[in-house]
Structure 1
Amino acid sequence: MDVAQVLHMNGGSGDTSYAKNSLPQQKAISLTKAMREEALTSLYLKKAPRILSIADLGCSSGPNTLMVLSELVKTVENLCRKMKHKSPEYQFFMNDLPVNDFNNIFKSLDSYKEKLSDELGAEIGPCFFTGVPGSFYGRIFPTKTLHFVHSSYSLQWLSRVPRGVENNKGNIYMACTSPSSVLKAYYEQFQKDFSLFLKFRAEELVEGGCMVLTFLGRKSEERYSKECCYIWGLLALALNDMVSEGKINEEQLDTFNIPQYTPSPSEVKLEVLKEGSFTITCLEVSRVHWNGHDDDDDWNNAFDSESLNNVAGYNVAKCMRAVAEPLLISHFGEAVDIEEVFRRYQAILTDRMSKERTEFINVTISMTRKD
């Protein structure tokens, strides 16, 4: 699997698109708002740049990217008004792999600017938007040109499927039945990738520049923890059922592994300390229910218990389809019935979610480039 060529969320704005099925990701962004505000406020008070350069790495497509940028502009504009400063010019860099649906973002920029101006009730500094295709595991910006880097739910994706996971039979990710060599291979690939990410961002950020990064991760130190592996394990169940019925080739399934690593806070911290270019200012763990609606009383009260479980399973299956469908199609091709895969997956999700609380664990780190 050439990850750079196949890893992207479902584009467009249709029923199975990431734009329509990324509520848990939106909740995670909301939970980390205070950390971003604190980091950006600290940076602005120290630097007060006339041109503020902000990069969103792994921006994908849909409303979540522009939601983050709006929030950052509001933070700076409020500071400018309090301090009677002229608004800076904003340079936004939106980065993802070349196969990302950048056009979906560009089409919404005019309405985004109008909405932002209306919400602030005054003129703001001019905003310039640039799409930057390329892997963030390499250099993507000139030296010392960025002030603030944000990334959410992207850095758990690896640059490649780790070498040495060929014996992960029956699994598509780390699992309690995975050999120890598979768990080790996943961790070592994460170490290599994240250390490169830090090295290159250290070159691209100005001294005193900030990064706020949110990983889909785990709280436990067990790499096969249910906290991070369960949702992929349930998809593996659906695929294995199809293998047993002759609808998927067993060899194809045994060679399919998700290029992702969900780190613990200590693993993230260790790599930052080892690389040495950044000072950690905050490291937190948060939780988001799989269906994204767990804390929404109006939504929960709109259904009886059985209907609530069915709708929740449907929503989570669509969310995961928006993420996983391109990977499945790339690997299995015409041999797999995607509709059937996700019908089965939805049934499994509905059953499990009716019996237990299911949550995504988020690991968020805020750090500053050392002078």
Structure 2
Amino acid sequence: MRIAEEAITNIYSSTFPTSLAIADLGCSSGPNTLYAVSELVKVVDEVRRKLGHQSPEYQVLLNDLPGNDFNAIFKSLAGFQENLKKQMGDGFGPCFFAGVPGSFYCRLFRAKSLHFVHSSYSLMWLSRVPPSLYDKQGKPINKGSVHISESSPPLVSQAYYAQFQEDFSLFLRSRSEELANGGRMVLIMLGRIGPDHVDRGNSFYWELLSRSLSILATQGEIEKEDIDSYDVHFYAPTKDEMEAEIRREGSFELERLEMFETEKELYKVSDNYGTEVAMTVRAIQESMLSHHFGEGILDALFDIYGRMVEEEMLKEEINPITFVVVLRKL
């Protein structure tokens, strides 16, 4: 969050806009949906007070897929705005909110209408499962695994990388039209350290999900063929892969790229790391897994999964990483 606060401070301090438009892409609808936005607004208000400036009007644009529970967000807005005004005091705002349903892999906003774009843990989700994971007859080529694994043929990692290139390029191109010159984007996403797609980082959690499903198959709870045809639309890029697409698109200057090992920070307060990880993966994958396998397997699946995570952590740490990227619109 500190990096995002520095980025929005730079925008405000260099342009002093009378109206500041902030977009949060992949906002979700949970209790923390409005947290990032509120922190960004507070930072700008603190700066403008120190400088003796009048408060800008804030336009906050909350984006997620159409299936997101926007009604839950809207119901919470009145209380959120009231609390924000109390914290900020006299002279703050006004602050306007809007929900913008749709995929961020296409245009969402008016040309040059945004000053700041924030996206947290969303861009590693691809727009679709790569179609080339299936042969010409429609048969899966990545058998026994839900993602890239050691047993996957080379075509699998190539398919995922090609889909990432297509999606990230579309994302950058769309935002380049929507951001005003000098506007910033702060992108927080899971990634990987080196060229190997299979490591003991983010990809390892999908390996454990594949193993958990295989156990259910041996117990007769699901069919092995159903595992073969289930793939997650996830890709953890490297620093070099992201930089290559940013250069290729050409509309942004890469101001900052930092890497963090975050998973231990997220779960360090818990005595049961495996359960916490299982709950997180279940929240993300539950609807897709239940659609493909039936919801009756979910409790057993994530009980197995949580225990597997715990067992693996006793053997050797799992070290997933997060990238924080700051881009300036040229």
Instruction: Give me the TM-score of the superposition, normalised by structure 2.
Output: 0.94
| 8 Å contact from structure 2 (residues 107, 174) kept in 1 | yes
- Equivalent pair of 2:200/2:318 in contact (CA under 8 Å): no
1:30 — aligned with what? none
Q: Describe the SS at the equivalent of 1:60.
A: coil
Q: Secondary structure at the match of 2:150?
A: coil
TM-superposed deviation, 1:46: 2.0
Indicate yes or no: 2:177 matched with 1:216. no
2:37 to 51, 61, 69: 69
Residue 265 of structure 1: how far off its partner (Å):
1.1
2-structure distance, mates of 1:355, 1:222: 21
Partners in 2 of 1:274 and 1:112 — Cα distance?
A: 40
Out of 214-223 and 266-275, give the one that drifted further.
214-223
**8 Å contact 2:21–2:113 — kept in the other structure?**
yes
Aligned match for 1:342, one of 274, 298, 302: 302
Distance, in Å, in 1 between the alignment partners of 2:113 and 2:294 is 41
- State the match for 1:93 in structure 2: 61
CA offsets 1:216-267 (integer angstroms, 9 cap, x no match): 1111221222212111111111100111122111111101000011111111
2:281 pairs with 300, 316, 320, which one?
320
CA-based RMSD of the aligned residues comes to 1.5
> Match for 2:116 among 144, 148, 161?
148
CA distance in structure 2 between the partners assigned to 1:63 and 1:268 by the alignment: 30
Pick from 262, 281, 290 the counterpart of residue 236 of structure 2.
262
Moved more, 107-116 or 248-257: 107-116
One-letter amino acid matched to 2:308: I
What is residue 181 of structure 2 aligned with on the other side?
207
Partner amino acid, structure 1, of 2:217: V
Residue 129 of structure 2: SS of its match in structure 1?
A: coil
My pick for the range that moved more, 103-112 or 318-327, is: 103-112
- Give secondary structure in 2 for the equivalent of 1:243: helix
Partner deviation per Cα, 1:109-145 (whole Å, 9 max, x = no partner): 2222233233334442111111110001111111111
Distance between the aligned counterparts of 2:275 and 2:232, measured in 1?
22
Map of 2:322 onto structure 1: 362
For the 8 Å contact 2:148–2:156, the answer to whether it is kept is: yes
Q: Please state if 1:231 is matched with 2:199.
A: no
Listed as ranges, the matches of 1:14-33 within 5 Å are 33=1
Matches of 1:293 and 1:144 in 2, distance apart? Answer: 39
Residue 291 of structure 1, CA deviation: 7.2
- Give the distance between the partners of 1:269 and 1:353, measured in 2 at CA: 32
Match of 1:37 in 2: 5
The 1-side partners of 2:101 and 2:208 are apart by 32
d(CA) in 2 for partners of 1:289, 1:39: 24
- Secondary structure of 1:359's counterpart equals coil
Alignment partner of 1:171 out of 145, 159, 163: 145
- State the alpha-carbon separation in 2 of the partners of residues 291 and 38 from structure 1: 22
> 2:164 is aligned with what amino acid?
F
Q: Does 1:56 align with 2:24?
A: yes
2:75 corresponding residue in structure 1: 107
The unaligned stretches of length 5 or more in structure 1 are 1-32, 301-307
Offset at residue 290 of structure 1 (A): 5.2
Give the C-alpha shift of residue 105 in structure 1: 1.8
Select 1:251's aligned residue among 225, 233, 247: 225
One-letter code of the match for 2:41? Answer: V
> CA, structure 1 residues 61+345, in 2 after alignment: closer, same or farther (shift >3 Å)?
same
Amino acid aligned to 1:106:
F
Q: How does 1:285-324 map to 2 (within 5 A)?
A: 285-289=259-263, 292-294=266-268, 299=269, 308=271, 311-324=272-285
Amino acid at match of 1:292: L
Alignment: residue pair count? 324
- Is 1:330 matched with 2:310? no
> What's the counterpart of residue 16 of structure 1?
none
Q: CA deviation at 1:50?
A: 1.2
SS at match of 1:337: helix
**Using the alignment, how far apart are the partners of 1:193 and 1:251 within structure 2?**
29
Kept in 1, the 8 Å contact 2:200–2:319? The answer is: no
SS of residue matched to 2:108? coil
Aligned residues with identical type, % of pairs? 45
Instruction: Indicate the residue corresponding to 1:198 in structure 2.
Output: 172
Aligned pairs for 1:3-22 (under 5 A) are none
Q: Tell me the TM-score normalized by structure 1.
A: 0.84
Segment of structure 1 superposing worse, 81-90 or 108-117: 108-117
In structure 2, list runs of 5 or more residues that go unmatched: 134-139
Are 1:80 and 1:87, in contact at CA under 8 Å, matched by a contact in 2?
A: yes
Does residue 180 of structure 2 align to residue 186 of structure 1? no
**Using the alignment, how far apart are the partners of 1:123 and 1:106 within structure 2?**
24
- Please give the secondary structure, in 1, of the residue aligned with 2:146: coil
Structure 2 residue matching 1:193: 3-state secondary structure: helix
Query: 1:13 aligns to what?
Result: none
Aligned to 2:136: none
Partners of 1:162 and 1:94 in 2: CA distance: 27
